[in-house]
Amino acid sequence: MSAAFRDRLLRGDRLVGTLLSLPSPELAEIASAAGFDWLFLDMEHGALDPGDVLRLVQAAREPCACLVRIPENREMWVKKALDTGASGIIVPHVNDAAEAALAVRWSKYPPEGGRSVGFSRANVYGARFEEHVETANKETVVVAQVEHIDGVRAIEAIIDVPGVDAVFIGPYDLSASMGKPGRIQDPDVREAIRSVASACAAKKVPVGIFTAGIPASAEALREGYTLVCSGIDVGLYSESAAAILRGLKPRNP
């Protein structure tokens, strides 16, 4: 676990990450060596099981942190993700304060929460068990993903839940929940996104967003988002592949 990552997040450092969806530790090495501040390891839509996540976390070079997006807000996924030694979790589809509170509870050891205790990579397979239990609550990041119009409406209550360190906006699911799948530039979707960002800014809660492409990521940073995810492994590869072919075989379909 990158101990400094939660401190950097909470003090509002700009943290630029990228999403990994493929079970390739080499990609985690490459992205962390390139200098990303954090990696978004996607168990929700990506092809990652807990063993894959473990190997990606092992491969990521310090000080790059790993945040695991769990498939759904269930205790089993929270403990499996955190047991890998990842710096924290991103919880998809947090639509109300009760869901946010559950995620925090499963992420923090007692007395603050109810995280399950076991030997795992997070505590060097038991060798640093006591040290880990002592420090984990201070170091573990809990990010609530707001990506449904219900979550937008409940944003004030969600960010008031103690232990929610940051909010991460999912523009695509949000647009779908508003009946406009994929239309992330639609004025109503943009307004919903803006309302989440300004609620977070008013309470000094770090806010992040998924973006694709340098202009969109740069705009998000300019607008004050501090946990910016820029691009996704499969997209970066397919765009580069298409660019090569456009250059070398312009008549390719």
Binding site for ligand 3PY (CB under 6 A): 147, 170-173, 210
For residues 228 and 235, the answer to whether their CB atoms sit within 8 Å is no
Minimum distance from CB of 242 to ligand 3PY (Å)? 22
Minimum distance from CB of 210 to Mg ion (Å)? 8
Q: Which does 165 bind (CB under 5 to 8 A by kind): ligand 3PY, Mg ion, none?
A: none
- Taking CA atoms, 81 is separated from 48, 166, 245, in Å, by 11, 18, 38
Q: In the complex with ligand 3PY, which residue's Cβ is closer, 59 or 227?
A: 227
Q: In the complex with Mg ion, which residue's Cβ is closer, 151 or 170?
A: 170
Span interacting with Mg ion, options 1-9, 60-68, 119-127, 141-149, rule CB under 5 A: 141-149
Q: Does 42 bind Mg ion (CB under 5 A)?
A: no
Minimum distance from CB of 99 to Mg ion (Å)? 15
Q: Which does 210 bind (CB under 5 to 8 A by kind): Mg ion, ligand 3PY, none?
A: ligand 3PY
Residues 25, 30, 36, CA angle at the centre, nearest 5°?
A: 110
Measured between alpha carbons, how far is 191 from 8 in angstroms, rounded to an integer?
Answer: 28
Alpha helices per DSSP H over 11-72: 25-34, 50-59
Residue with tokens 């909010």: 167
User: Has 93 been annotated as catalytic?
Assistant: no
Q: Out of 48, 173, 197, 217, point to the residue binding Mg ion (CB under 5 A).
A: 173
CB atoms within 10 A of CB 112: 14
Query: Kind and range of the H or E element at 146?
Result: strand 141-146
Q: Out of 71, 113, 170, 171, point to the residue binding Mg ion (CB under 5 A).
A: 170
Minimum distance from CB of 92 to ligand 3PY (Å)? 6
Q: Which does 171 bind (CB under 5 to 8 A by kind): Mg ion, ligand 3PY, none?
A: ligand 3PY
Query: Omega before 92 cis (within 30°)?
Result: no
Burial call 203-235: b when 16+ CB within 10 Å, e when fewer? eebbbbbbbbeeebbeebbeeebbbbbbbbbee
Span interacting with Mg ion, options 15-23, 33-41, 133-141, 170-178, rule CB under 5 A: 170-178
Q: In the complex with Mg ion, which residue's Cβ is closer, 83 or 147?
A: 147
Measured between alpha carbons, how far is 195 from 3 in angstroms, rounded to an integer?
Answer: 31
Measured between alpha carbons, how far is 127 from 122 in angstroms, rounded to an integer?
Answer: 10
Q: In the complex with ligand 3PY, which residue's Cβ is closer, 113 or 170?
A: 170
Minimum distance from CB of 176 to ligand 3PY (Å)? 8
- The catalytic residue among 45, 93, 132, 148 is 45
For Mg ion, the binding residues (CB under 5 A) are 147, 170, 173
Instruction: Provide the annotated active-site residues.
Output: 45
